[in-house]
Amino acid sequence: QQAALIDAVSKNVLFSELAQAELDVIIGAMKKLEYTKGDDIIKQGEEGDLFYVVEDGACEIFVKGVGKVMDIGGFGSVRNFFGELALLYDAPRAATVTAAGPVVAWGLDRVTFKKILQDQTQKQRSLYKTFLEQVPVLQPLSVYEKLTIADAMAPKTFPAGENIINEGDEGFEFYIVESGEVICTKNLDGKETEVSDPLGPGDYFGELSLINNESRAASVKAVKDTTCLTIDRKTFKRLLGPLEGMLREHEELYSKYVEDAKTSS
C-alpha cells in the first residue's frame, strides 16, 4: 500500500520540486479512498476539504452547462490529480468528478495541502502561463484559456537521443517544447530521414495525429536533453479545437519537407 502511494505521488507534477521531508509529511497525511463506477467523488458547488491523487482507475470531470470536459487518471491521461482549485482559492468546487469505473485515490486534507503545496501550485501555474504567452500559436486565446491549458499540462523529460514519439504509433498527447531541441524524422525508402528543421522552446508537435485521428506520421527525437509540456488528446481537442486552422499550417509545411526529402534522396 505504501509503495503504491509513493508511486502515485512521484508521478504528480505538483510534488516534483518538494523536499523528501515534505513528501514524507504528505504521504503520512494521505488517506486511501475507494470508489465504484458512477460515484461522485466531488460535486460542483460544494465546499472542498480534500485534494485527490488517483492511484488506479479513471475519473471524468463534468461542468454544469458544458458537460464532460476532461479525463483524470487512466491510460492516455497525463494528469492524475484534482481538487486543488477549491483549496487554493477557498472557493466551491468548480466541477463534478465522477468515477468512470473502480477508482483508488488518496485524499490530502486542506490544512496539509495549503501548508505544503499552495505556493508550489501557484508558482507552477504562473510559470506555465508566462511560458504559454510566448507560444505564437496560442496568442489568439484569452488569459483564462491559457490558464486552463496551464492547469492541464504535465511536464515530461527526455534524454538526448530518445524518441519522444514513433512513426506509426497511435497519438495520445500534444507536445510543446519547454527546453531543449527535437527533430522530426520519417522512414523514406528504408532510411530514417529528417523532415523538419530543429524545434526548440515554444515550438510544438504531435498535433496532426490528434486533429486527423491518425497514427503518428513521423518520429520525433530529442536532439538535446529536452523537457516538453504535454496535453492529453481529449483536453487538446477541447481547449485547442478553435485553433485547428492555425495548427494545420504545420501540415502543409511538413508535407513540403517530406517532398523535398524525397527529391533530394
Which tens digits make up the pLDDT trace of 172-230? Answer: 888 989 889 999 888 887 788 887 888 998 888 888 888 888 888 889 999 999 989 88
- What cell was used for 71? 479525463
pLDDT band at 132 (very low <50, low <70, confident <90, very high): confident
* Residue keyed to cell 490529480: 81
Which tens digits make up the pLDDT trace of 10-43? Answer: 666 667 667 677 778 888 889 999 999 999 999 9
pLDDT band at 166 (very low <50, low <70, confident <90, very high): very high
- What is the share, in percent, of the chain residues with pLDDT greater than 90? 21
DSSP structure class, residue 169: S
Stated as kind and residue range, the H or E segment containing 183 is strand 182-188
Question: Which pLDDT belongs to residue 120?
Answer: 66
pLDDT band at 105 (very low <50, low <70, confident <90, very high): very high
Residue 262 scores a pLDDT above 60 = no
**40-42: strand order across its sheet:** 40-42, 96-99, 58-63, 67-73
Question: Which pLDDT belongs to residue 24?
Answer: 82
Annotated binding residues, written as ranges, equal 84, 93, 207, 216
Q: Domains in the chain, start-ordered, CATH in brackets?
A: 2-116 (2.60.120.10), 127-264 (2.60.120.10)
Question: Which pLDDT belongs to residue 16?
Answer: 66
Annotated binding residues for 3',5'-cyclic AMP, written as ranges, equal 84, 93, 207, 216
Q: Is the dihedral of CA 71, 74, 75, 76 positive or negative?
A: positive
Buried b (16+ CB within 10 A) or exposed e, 164-203: bbebeeebbbbbbbbebbbbbbbeeeeeebebbeebeeeb
Residue 99 scores a pLDDT above 80 = yes
- What cell was used for 261? 526529402
- What cell was used for 92? 466551491
Spell out where 83-158 has E strands. Answer: 96-99, 103-109, 154-158
Question: Which pLDDT belongs to residue 36?
Answer: 96
Mean pLDDT of the chain: 81
